[in-house]
Chain A
Amino acid sequence: MSLPNYVLEDVFNAINLGLIIVDAEYNVLFWNDWIFKRTHIKQAEAVSHKLDSVFSEPLSVTFLNAIKNTLEYGLPTVLSNALHRSPLPLYDLSLQTDEKTRIPQAITISPLQSQQGELYCVIQVTDSSTSIKREKMLRSHSEIFKREANTDSLTGIYNRRFFDEHYKIAFHSAIRQQQYLSIFMIDIDFFKDYNDYYGHLKGDETLRAVAQALKSQLFRASDLIARYGGEEFVLILPDLSEEQAEKFAEKLKNSIFNLAIPHVNSSLFNQVTISIGLCAGIPQEEYDILGRADAALYLAKQQGRNRCVMLSLL
């Protein structure tokens, strides 16, 4: 037993999904009620017309290209709501307002071949506004909580807790693989004076700017930056020679200097600067690489700030 065609059409009109079928020349062959309700264009007005001439607004190039590619290669294409928002001019027409905003959509374009070998395109449109909410609820508990627990809320980089975990892994992996490990301890110079003069709001802003500038120097998946506490940051980079590590520290220092954030209470340059303590080497179980980096930071402060001091592991 099979469904008669007129029942199929009712089914297509009953489903909660937009459905448009076009042929290889972009002529509309089918247009379901879901689309009608969101355009007020009847199927009869759309059928046999070119898809891009049916709507009163022009269609996006991406959307038309997607159809072209689907027809040319017979490969299905998806257009996500995240990257395209609302490719088709569809509106919630049940709202009696003058303000018209397009419905957020996700679109799937699939090729279809008739037994005679003719190619068609099936365009499915879903309203993303509901799925966005659903997904939000499903995901929020586990994943977001985990991310937030690892993130420093002020600067958006990793927090101390995450660093401590990561450090253990990186330290042991360096021992195992006999690989270099570099720790950079960073402190903003005269930050207390900065807060006293500019206030805490400005201070927070500067912390964020410094965190972002330091983070933007990282390019490898293996590298990590975290806020260590107060105005202190820590970076951990595996597999750099001492020379490379020193060069990298220089880059970090310059990245902050080049921000040129004014700091009238800094006796150095009248702008925000950082001091860096660096320790690099192939670690062994008993070495305290963090402690050495901290000691190096102390020396950098002693020697006049806005500089990097490196100590070896021993």
Chain B
Amino acid sequence: MQQLNILSELQCDALAEVFNIGAGRAALSISEIVNDEVKLSIPCIEVKKSTEINAEILPLPNERFGTVHQDFSGPFEATAMLVFSEENALEIVRDMMGSQMSLEELVEFEQEAMCELGNIILNACLSAMADMLSISLSSSLPCYTITSCAEVINTITGSTDQDYVLVLNIVFTSVKRQSEGHLILLLSSTSLTNLIKHIDRFLGNI
């Protein structure tokens, strides 16, 4: 299958290391907010053609998703999306806010708290990428939307100039629960080529 060849094993491992550093930084920031231990792990990374994205990549197709986007640019450009099921998003936010909040209050805060959570995770991953690949990236402000799975998939498959997606599973573990989400980077083929170029340069420097 061709998608297996987009990244070599070593390139994938290098990217995994970059995102693990990012996840560690994000977990530290989040743990400082919640005053408790949290774990963020990224067990797998896949590069796919955006046309291959379908409901199977994102579990629970009936559910609604909370999505945080940031567009970033630099040596390569991408749209980064952090996707959690709406229910998971709410639970994470509830844990982060700590108090016994009513659902009513919680819904009010969900949007901005999720925006911040997404901003923490995305910035941590981008900064780890900047550090390790010795590049500098800039980014738009995060924005949060609640959408159906179909809409998320349409965003991915419908973006005409971004042919590739980097899909990372994110497992967020707090003392109380474990939630799974996805970090999705939409890349044009030029950007993917440039990203690979930087990974190779990084590997070449070892």
A174 within 8 A of B: no
Residues facing B in A99-118 (CB within 8 A) are 106, 108, 110-111
| Bound Cα distance from A65 to B29, whole angstroms | 10
Kindly list chain B residues whose C-beta atoms are within 8 Å of the C-beta of A61: 32
Smallest CB gap from A220: residue in B: B178
7 A-B pairs with C-beta separation under 8 A: A73-B130, A75-B138, A76-B140, A83-B96, A106-B112, A136-B104, A221-B85
B33 within 8 A of A: yes
Shortest B22–chain A CB gap in Å is 11
Contact in complex: A73, B137 (CB < 8 Å): yes
Contact in complex: B116, A73 (CB < 8 Å): no
How many A-B contacts if CB must be within 8 Å?
88
| Bound Cα distance from A111 to B177, whole angstroms | 35
Kindly list chain A residues whose C-beta atoms are within 8 Å of the C-beta of B119: 76-78
Q: A106-B112, A139-B108 are in contact. Are A73 and B87 (CB under 8 A)?
A: no
Contact in complex: A78, B107 (CB < 8 Å): no
Contact in complex: A76, B108 (CB < 8 Å): no
Contact in complex: A83, B139 (CB < 8 Å): no
Shortest B117–chain A CB gap in Å is 8
Residues facing B in A62-113 (CB within 8 A) are 62, 65, 69, 72-84, 106, 108, 110-111
| Bound Cα distance from A144 to B33, whole angstroms | 27
| Bound Cα distance from A75 to B127, whole angstroms | 8
| Residues on A facing B (Cβ under 8 Å) | 61-62, 65, 69, 72-84, 106, 108, 110-111, 132, 135-136, 139-140, 143-144, 147-148, 151, 169, 219, 221-222
Contact in complex: B138, A132 (CB < 8 Å): no
Shortest A255–chain B CB gap in Å is 15
Contact in complex: A74, B136 (CB < 8 Å): yes
Residues facing A in B131-187 (CB within 8 A) are 136-142, 177-180
Kindly list chain B residues whose C-beta atoms are within 8 Å of the C-beta of A143: 107
